[in-house]
Structure 1
Amino acid sequence: MSTTDAERAWRAMSDLVLSQDRKTAVSEALGLSFARVQALRRLAAGPLTLRALAAKLLADPPYVTLIVDDLEQRGLVLREPHPEDRRAKLVRLTREGEAAAARADAILGEPPAGLRDLPPEDAATLLRLLERVGGGA
């Protein structure tokens, strides 16, 4: 079975992304598990109910409740009444939570040295190709 250039490119991209241990770096920097970091990042877009947050995290609601309990104890999130549903609570970031989410995004968005060191024209070509392959996503 021969390996196509497309398969080799995919493996190279996967290896590059997966070899960057950003999860550990962001968890250590914030003193939070990666699941908690992901919760902060999802809440940065705006308040969510626990159920909606669980859906975005692809996690069980009871587990997300534990995550939110911990983030609330750390002063990173607040629960507040839902304006339209008395049975639901909205979870939103505090200022400290917003800062932590922004720091997480900065750490996770930092490209590896090999990508940072590409000549600008090569980086532009790579970006154009990836956007083309990903449909602009």
Structure 2
Amino acid sequence: MSDDALADDVWRAMAAVVFDNRDTWKRDVIERSGLPFSRIRVLRRLAGRPMTAKEVAESATMDAPAATVAVNDLEERGLVVREVNPANRRCKVISLTDAGRDVVAAIDGVEDPAPAAFDALDVADLRALRDLLAKLGAH
């Protein structure tokens, strides 16, 4: 097996563990916020920094029309604001309002415990996995 094929297999296995164990958290976040998950994805991306609509679409893995609909909805709810981009006055920058930051804080407060599958790992395995993920996150 080539290194690329091995990396692809590991990636698929890691994604499967996350996707197969994320439903409870996702439902709890939707319930706590009262927002569709597509809006939550946008808010969480904007929590990092203000963005243009194009950047929102790219970071939330949405097409441009879907991102515009999401931002319009969040703006109507008072969770984001569009302002002229000081670096390029032809476009707008979208940022969180105080209410938007409050929603993100509520979302971040939803418990997200490790799934039962992690019980198969001992402390050394968990530390190794944490270190590997930190290494991946640094790229």
**Per-residue deviation, 1:59:** 1.7
Asked whether 1:110 is paired with 2:87, we answer no
Q: For the residues of structure 1 that align with 2:16 and 2:69, how far apart are their CA atoms?
A: 33
Listed as ranges, the matches of 1:1-137 within 5 Å are: 13-20=14-21, 21=23, 22-107=25-110, 110-112=112-114, 114=116, 115=118, 123-128=126-131, 130-131=133-134, 134=136
Q: Normalising to structure 1: TM-score of the pair?
A: 0.73
User: Moved runs in structure 1, 4+ residues, more than 6 A?
Assistant: 6-12
Listed as ranges, the gaps of 5+ residues in structure 2 are: 1-6
* 1:40/1:93 contact within 8 Å kept: yes
Paired residues of 1:54 and 1:61 also in contact (CA < 8 A): yes
> Tell me, what secondary structure is at the counterpart of 1:88?
strand
**How far apart are 1:9 and its partner, in Å?**
7.8
2:4 maps to what in 1?
A: none
* 1:19 aligned partner, one-letter code: D
Amino-acid identity (%) = 40
What's the CA shift for 1:135? Answer: 7.2
- Tell me how far apart the structure 2 counterparts of residues 84 and 111 of structure 1 sit (CA, whole Å): 41
Letter in 2 for 1:17: V
Question: For this pair of structures, how many residues does the alignment match?
Answer: 131
| Alpha-carbon offset, residue 34 of structure 1 | 1.1
**Which runs of 5 or more structure 1 residues have no equivalent in the other structure?**
1-5
1:51-110 per-position Cα deviation (integer Å, ceiling 9, x unaligned)? 111121222222111101110111111111111322211111011111212332343x72
Instruction: Write the distance in 2 (CA, Å) between the matches of 1:28 and 1:124.
Output: 32
Q: Is the 8 A contact 1:82 1:90 kept in 2?
A: yes
Question: Is 11-20 or 31-40 further displaced after alignment?
Answer: 11-20
Separation of aligned partners in 1, 2:50 and 2:137: 29
